Amino acid sequence: MTHTELPRTLAPTERTRLRRMKEKASFERSDLEAILDAGFVCHLGVIVDGDPMVVPTVYGRDERNLYVHGSVASRSLVNAEGDDVDATICVTVTHVDGLVLARSVFEHGVNYRCAMIYGTPRRLVDDAEKTEGLRILTEHATPGQWDYARRPTRKELAATTVFALSLEEASVKIRTGAPDDGDSPDAALGLWAGTLPLTSRWGAPTADPALPSGITAPAHIVARAGTRQG
Amino acid sequence: MTHTELPRTLAPTERTRLRRMKEKASFERSDLEAILDAGFVCHLGVIVDGDPMVVPTVYGRDERNLYVHGSVASRSLVNAEGDDVDATICVTVTHVDGLVLARSVFEHGVNYRCAMIYGTPRRLVDDAEKTEGLRILTEHATPGQWDYARRPTRKELAATTVFALSLEEASVKIRTGAPDDGDSPDAALGLWAGTLPLTSRWGAPTADPALPSGITAPAHIVARAGTRQG
């Protein structure tokens, strides 16, 4: 695999172009990366027996690839012989930032940031790249945890499926701000209009009841409490 | 359409049964309904040109159906002649409740509640059922708003696509609580283990900058600020 950098603008393909004809599309790779970095659960779309299936799963990323944990997805991406299936998947990461409450029901909407990535995933196979995939997944969800927790054994690696998906083909949609009907005839109705923001925050760490007393949560976990997620 | 009640347990089908062989499945319709009622954005999986596509969209529900706003989905569910395509979709609603931080990386996970609904959607066609679909969507996202905002005109109804999807075929997965390795040999490692909860809350309403002074936010919006979502 070459390691030339991915272009910083997201070149359109047939399926991403269609989304881009609508308002609110972004063509900046930096927007894609910011959306991916703000979350850790994606919705993975695969085809199973001819029908779509959408499953939530954890992900991480590096400069070139998204890494997804593949327990459920592997049903559709690996055949009975254990070989990879040459199937396209769609991975969607969405952050819901609030409700857009307009004067008219028709103009109601949601403020959100959404990234969609399309491609044929590659299953990580050797222990070294699987370990690196799990490191990326772990550090993406909980920075500092890879160095803290016990790392996977060979047996655990064998029981784990991780897929890499190139970040080459992606589309980004973002909506922010006030409703769009502030300059419409509806403005004369005298109705309140605005947004109701939604924010997700980490709470205080809760110890496993099985934990012996005297073991305190590590700094990288404690520091996260109260911070924003998304 | 008959209005016999849906069974209160979720009868397995081939595709939902496979998910149920895993731990954490729920067979209770009340769990399905609670997950749907706790959110307002779903991830809708469709097949476009042979490949899966996953798009976020708003939804609502009544006793028998999920209603989804279909702007993007309609590309794959309505053909060039404007007729419905007989396609199965998958709608997934996920609430992420926190990180499960185990002693070993292998046992790391996510506390979550997830509902997946499969079926062939029906596009609402006449003005009365479209209006009712939009009422359900609007009230699901923002209770009280249907009676407050200006309702759709016939022209707006014509420009809106709403699909109904039966809640008959669904699967539910829920994970709660502490990590699973408290009684494993890893417990002797002396590492902290527990969960890091994640909570989503509504903020204070933000008025549209275009709003004339003196128009205050209605009580049903103000009352929501600070309450939990999800």
Q: Are A44 and A91 in contact (CB under 8 A)?
A: yes
Establish if B58 belongs to a structural domain: yes
- Does residue B160 sit within a domain? yes
Residue B225 lies in a domain: no
Distance from CA of B210 to the nearest CA of A (A): 5
Distance (Å, whole) CA B196 – CA B97: 9
Q: Which residues in A lie closer than 8 A to residue B15 (C-beta atoms)?
A: 48-49, 51, 53
Q: Which residue among B18, B159, B178 sits closest to A209, beta carbon to beta carbon? A: B178
CA–CA gap between residue B180 and residue B93 (Å, rounded): 25
Residues of A in contact with B223 (CB under 8 A): none
User: Token pair of A140, please?
Assistant: 């993406």
Q: Is B220 among the domain residues?
A: no
What CATH number has the domain bearing residue B161?
A: 2.30.110.10
Is the residue at A27 inside a domain? yes
Residue A27, pLDDT score: 86
The amino acid occupying position A94 is T
* Domains identified in chain A, total number: 1
**Can you tell me the distance from the alpha carbon of A73 to that of A84, in angstroms, rounded to the nearest whole number?**
12
Cα B5 vs. chain centroid, distance in angstroms?
A: 21
DSSP string for A137-206: HHHHHSTTHHHHSBPPPHHHHHT--EEEEESSEEEEEEE-SS-S-TTSGGGGG----EEEEEEEEE---E
- Say what the pLDDT of residue A16 is: 63
> Hey, of B17, B19, B69, B101, which one would you mutate to test binding to chain A, going by the most A CBs within 10 A of its CB?
B101
Per DSSP, the three-state class of B104 is strand
* C-alpha radius of gyration, chain A, whole number: 21
On whether residue A213 sits in a domain, the answer given is no
| A101·B145 Cβ contact <8 A | yes
The helix (H) or strand (E) run that includes residue A112 is strand A109-119
R_g over Cα of chain B? 21
Query: CA A228 to CA A205: how far, in whole Å?
Result: 14
| CB-CB neighbors (< 8 A) of B47 in chain A | 47, 51-52
Q: Is A188's Cβ below 8 Å from some Cβ in B?
A: no
Q: How far apart are CA B133 and CA B192, in angstroms?
A: 49
pLDDT at A21: 38
With an 8 Å Cβ cutoff, is B11 touching chain A?
no
B118 interface with A at CB cutoff 8 Å: yes
Closest chain A residue by Cα to residue B88: A51
Does B76 reside within a domain? yes
DSSP string computed for A59-88: EEE-SSEEEEE-TTTHHHHB-TTSPBP---
Interface of A with B in 140-159 (CB under 8 A): 141-142, 145-146, 148-153, 156, 159
Mean pLDDT (10-residue bins), chain A, 230 residues: 73 60 74 98 94 96 95 71 82 97 96 96 94 98 98 95 96 93 94 98 97 96 96
ipTM of the complex: 0.92
Sequential pLDDT tens for chain B (230 residues)? 456 788 888 877 766 654 433 348 888 999 999 999 999 999 999 999 899 999 999 999 999 999 999 876 677 777 777 777 778 999 999 999 999 999 999 999 999 999 999 999 999 999 999 999 999 999 999 999 999 999 999 999 999 999 999 999 999 999 999 999 999 999 999 999 999 999 999 999 999 999 999 999 999 999 999 999 99
Given a contact cutoff of 8 angstroms between Cβ atoms, the answer to whether A41 and A57 are in contact is yes
Give residue B193's domain range: 14-198
Contacts of A226 (CB under 8 A, 6+ apart): A201, A202, A203, A204
DSSP B124-135: --SHHHHHHHHH
Neighbours of B79 (CB within 10 A): 10
- Residue A12 CA to residue A19 CA, distance in Å, equals 10
**Shortest Cα distance, chain B CAs vs residue A4, angstroms:** 27
Contacts of B49 (CB under 8 A, 6+ apart): A14, A15
Structure confidence at residue A94 (pLDDT): 98
Q: What integer pLDDT is reported at residue A12 of this predicted model?
A: 76
